[in-house]
Structure 1
Amino acid sequence: MAILLFDRLGGTEGITSLVDAVVEAHMSNPAINARFLPYKEQPEKLALIRRHTIDFFCAGSGGPVTYAGRDMPTTHNGMNITPGEYMHVVDDILMVLDKHQIDDESKKDVLAILWSLKGMIIGQ
């Protein structure tokens, strides 16, 4: 039986660590940080987004978690995210996966998920 992506990413604890590192990477990335830095001034909103992101990736990777947040088009409506910005987000995520020594198969699985979400996020 194949090991779930959820387990390969370290379960809820591992995914939480990855999400926290990705948020930091986004806030440090000059190409996209203007979208993320304002959340530093809104800690309650940042905490909610963080929680939803963790739950989204836990549920989407096969974990025993229910995602109760909004769908991707609703969440990103009005943000007008460009393909270039989306690629910076993907690059940050892959960089974090590398830093956390996530195996290549799991990175490919994460990339497939990110690619499947692309049309629901870009240009909304």
Structure 2
Amino acid sequence: MTSTSTPASLYERLGRNAGITRIVTDVVEAHLANPLVAARYRAVKDIDRVRNMAIEFFCAGTGGPEPYTGRDMLSTHKGMNISEQEYMAVMDDILGALEKHQVDAATRGEVAGILYSLKGDILRV
């Protein structure tokens, strides 16, 4: 008899809400220390709101039960004129945090693919 188990969702592989919260917290810290994007993040009036919206976004976008209550990516980034270098710096910070939390390479690749799919709503809009 063969067992057919459902593969763990991306949400589960990232550690559910608690794991995603730890990852996003490290991502925000990395952004604040990254010379390519630090000024943008230091200028934010409510960095806790940014962090909480990112947690919601990751939870909802990876299959978790938490709703995302923020704006869509295009509305969020419109007028920011984010450069390719800034975009890649943010991606590197996210992938670095995933690696720090021992997220496996396949899962990191899946997250990167999702984030790259949003590039058109973020870059130079």
TM-score of the superposition, structure 2-length normalised?
0.92
Distance 1:51 1:82 in 2: 24
- Bigger-Rg structure (1/2): 2
Counterpart residue number, 1:90: 91
* C-alpha distance in structure 1 between counterparts of 2:84 and 2:62, whole Å: 24
User: For residues 56 and 92 of structure 2, what CA distance do their matches in structure 1 show?
Assistant: 21
1:1-124 aligned within 5 A: 1-39=6-44, 42=45, 45-124=46-125
Instruction: Tell me the SS of whatever aligns to 1:2.
Output: coil
Deviation sequence 1:29-74 (CA, Å, 0-9, x none): 11111111123xx3xx212211111000000000011111100000
CA distance in 2 between counterparts of 1:105 and 1:2 reads 13
Which AA in structure 2 matches 1:15? I
CA contact (8 A) 2:41 2:47 kept: no
Aligned residues with identical type, % of pairs: 49
Aligned residues of 2:9 and 2:62 also touching (Cα < 8 A): yes
SS at match of 1:97: helix
Q: Give the paired residue count.
A: 120
Structure 1 gaps of 5+ residues are none
Secondary structure (helix, strand or coil) at the match of 1:47 reads helix
Which residue identity lines up with residue 109 of structure 1 in the other structure?
E
Using the alignment, how far apart are the partners of 1:48 and 1:34 within structure 2? Answer: 17
Question: Given the two structures, how large is their TM-score scaled by the length of structure 1?
Answer: 0.93
* Structure 1 segments of 4+ aligned residues over 6 angstroms from their partners: none
